[in-house]
Amino acid sequence: MIASGRTGVAAACSIAEACRAVLLTTDPIEKAFAARVCTRRWRKGALSHRFDVAMPDDPPRPDRPELLAPGRMRKRGRAGSERSRQAMLHALAHIEYVAIDLAFDCAGRFGEAMPRGFVDDWLGVGADEAMHFVLLDRRLRALGSHYGALPAHAGLWEAAGKTRDDLAARLAVVPMALEARGLDVTPMTVTRFEAAGDARSAAILVRIYTDEIRHVAVGTRWFGFCCTRDRKAPVDRWQSLISEQFRDIVKPPFNDSARAQAGLTLDYYGTLAALTSSGQTSCRREREGQISTSG
């Protein structure tokens, strides 16, 4: 039986065992440190490139934060008050906590069929996410709060479940859609924190934003590798995969500059976003028409 946390990572012989130990770690701070230890052991050559254990489909979660459906989440405000900033930082900390699992699951679940560099990249991403989580948790504590003090979004792991059997789909959805969405919204969030006089939080968000550009680039590059290997056109395949279940997460406004730095050019998302916007407008007009005729 594989132990969790840093103890489990230290006892692991293979990269799969170490990734599983990270995923099975419940305590948020311990998970972050286990992720960093796993990455260091891999880079030092202490873990073999073997995939001899399976990744858990549903990693355990701590008792706090309480996980709620999206419709039950309270609005976080616009960072004008300290309470609003705490809520926004807490939401971001939860994203980073789940992102640790997404990165290590990607390496441990799909690494066997990929070049060694694939594991290198995703463990690097996971170590970054762990650092981001620790920075956000420390900032929350400096503001009189902590991770777990507020409810959090229950649906962030859903993308992993829906893509657990398809690496191309995982890459299309997680780094190239969900993380890319972070590139779109973070600059405005930074501006709001700066306007509220919270320069320290703003600096942390800038650091995360810079790293996330690289993470999206990692996903885009390996998605292109999969498409080349499978002899499929990357843009067409991405649009097809996103359209199947995840079209609603591709919506303006877009940070075209940051996306382009990551290799996620407008030809990927421009047409799909236009179709989504058109569909939403049509639905809204239909609803308005129904309200008008029924009144």
Tokens at 34, concatenated: 């286990």
- Dist CA 123 CA 116 (whole Å): 11
Listing DSSP states for 141-167 in one string gives: HHTT--TTSS-EETTTTHHHHHTTT-H
What is the full per-residue pLDDT of the chain (295 aa) written as tens digits? 568 999 999 999 999 999 999 999 999 999 999 999 999 999 999 999 999 999 999 999 999 999 887 665 566 555 558 889 999 999 999 999 999 999 999 999 999 999 999 999 999 999 999 999 999 999 999 999 999 999 998 788 999 999 999 999 999 999 999 999 999 999 999 999 999 999 999 999 999 999 999 999 999 999 999 999 999 999 999 999 999 878 788 888 999 999 999 999 999 998 877 665 544 433 333 333 333 323 3
CA–CA separation, 268 and 274 (whole Å)? 12
pLDDT of the residue at 73: 53
* 156 Cβ contact list (under 8 Å, min separation 6): 94, 95, 98
Collapse the DSSP code of 52 into the 3-class scheme (helix H, G, I; strand E, B; otherwise coil) and give the result: coil
Distance CA 95, CA 4 (A): 21
pLDDT in tens, 141-187: 999 999 999 999 878 899 999 999 999 999 999 999 999 999 999 99
Q: Looking at residue 75, what is its pLDDT?
A: 63
Alpha carbon distances (Å) from 98 to 105, 250, 294: 11, 20, 45
